[in-house]
Structures are given as structure tokens and as C-alpha cells.
């Protein structure tokens, strides 16, 4: 009687099916061929994505800090060289709007505070000190505004700059 094809290998010898099964199982269970690249890509993405987002956040915060500091500095400079209080406040507000807009931040959300020494009622007196404080909130990058429910999704930044009114200024 001739053995069936199912139980023979290509040379006509009787095959042992349990050895084939063991070989296939061992190959499937212990063979790591090609998995290192998959592990590297997965681990790389898990570690790289938070690092990239951290760089984006730090860039947004740094840009916002430069914008707020520049806005306060320029607002205090234009305030002390203005002719009167009304023009000084308008010029300071324009300087803040320009500096924040230059860095891509909305100037409508900024708050500007102006303080004067030694006389708070008259800022533009000779040798008077004018301090301008600018506060703005920098939104986190890639976060939609709809998520701003319970947790603030922006970083508040504030800067202040002080300038002295010229002692040679003509009194009005």
C-alpha cells in the first residue's frame, strides 16, 4: 500500500506532521525578524511627539514673552515723549497693538496699565517716572478653543517697563 500524499514529503519519504507543526509554532512564537524596526518606530513616536509639542509650546511662550516685553518697552517710550496725557495714552495703546500684532498675538485681549510717580495724577511732569505694564494670554498651540472648559489652555504673560520723563521737558 502506498502512503497518501498528505503524509509524505516531496521525496516520497514518510513525513512526521508533528515536527512540521513544532517547526511552524517555534518559528511563529520565537521569530523576531522585522520587529525591531516596528518597535523603534513605535517607541520613537511615543517619545518624539511629546517632545515636538513641548518645543512648540516653548516657542509660543518665548514669542509671547518677547511680544509683551517689547510692547511694554515701546509703550513707555512713546508715553514719555508725548505732548499731553490724552495723546500719550493713545500712543501707548497704538504701540502695544503694533508690538503684539507683529508677533501674531491679538491686541484686543491685552490689558495695559499705566502708573506714574511721584504724582499719579500728572504723569508727564519733569523727571517723572512712568511705568507701563502689559498683560496678555498666549494660547497653547494646536488646542482648539472649544476645549477651554475647566482647565485654562493659555499661559498668562506680563511685562512692565519704566521710563523717566525728560528733566528738560517744557511744562505745559
Domain ranges of the chain: 37-164
The alpha carbon of 47 is separated from its chain's Cα centroid by a whole number of angstroms, namely: 18
Q: Quick one: pLDDT at residue 39?
A: 83
Q: Please give the Cα distance from 72 to 86 (Å, whole number).
A: 18
pLDDT at position 131: 96
The overall pTM is greater than 0.75 = no
Three-state SS at 156: strand
Contact 64, 136 (CB under 8 A): yes
- DSSP bridge pairs for 132: 114, 161
- Residue 32 has a pLDDT of 65
HEC sequence for 92-147 = HHHHHHHHHHHCCCCHHHCEEEEEEECCCCCCCCCCCEEEEEEEEEEECCCCCHHH
C-alpha cell at 16: 512526521
pLDDT of residue 31: 63
Distance between CA atoms of residues 163 and 160, nearest Å: 10
pLDDT in 10s for each residue of the chain, 172 residues: 555 555 555 666 655 555 555 555 555 555 666 677 888 888 888 989 999 999 999 999 999 999 999 999 999 999 999 989 999 999 999 999 999 999 999 888 899 999 999 888 888 888 899 999 999 999 889 888 777 677 788 899 999 999 999 888 777 6
Q: What is the pLDDT of residue 112?
A: 95
| pLDDT number for residue 118 | 86
What is the CB-side half-sphere exposure of residue 14 using CA atoms within 13 A? 3
Gap between the Cα atoms of 131 and 80, Å rounded: 10
pLDDT given for residue 37 in this prediction: 82
Amino acid at each position: 500500500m502506498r502512503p497518501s500524499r498528505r503524509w509524505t514529503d516531496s521525496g516520497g519519504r514518510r513525513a512526521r506532521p508533528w515536527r512540521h507543526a513544532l517547526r511552524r509554532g517555534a518559528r511563529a512564537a520565537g521569530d523576531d525578524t522585522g520587529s525591531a524596526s516596528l518597535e523603534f518606530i513605535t517607541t520613537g513616536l511615543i517619545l518624539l511627539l511629546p517632545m515636538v509639542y513641548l518645543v512648540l509650546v516653548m516657542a509660543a511662550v518665548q514669542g509671547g514673552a518677547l511680544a509683551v516685553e517689547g510692547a511694554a518697552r515701546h509703550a513707555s517710550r512713546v508715553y514719555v515723549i508725548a505732548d499731553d496725557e490724552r495723546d500719550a495714552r493713545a500712543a501707548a495703546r497704538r504701540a502695544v497693538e503694533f508690538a503684539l500684532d507683529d508677533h501674531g498675538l491679538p491686541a484686543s485681549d491685552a490689558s495695559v496699565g499705566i502708573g506714574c510717580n511721584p504724582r499719579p495724577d500728572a504723569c508727564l511732569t519733569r523727571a517723572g517716572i512712568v511705568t507701563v505694564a502689559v498683560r496678555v494670554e498666549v494660547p497653547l498651540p494646536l488646542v482648539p478653543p472649544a476645549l477651554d472648559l475647566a482647565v485654562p489652555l493659555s499661559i498668562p504673560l506680563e511685562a512692565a517697563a519704566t521710563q523717566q520723563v525728560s528733566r528738560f521737558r517744557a511744562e505745559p
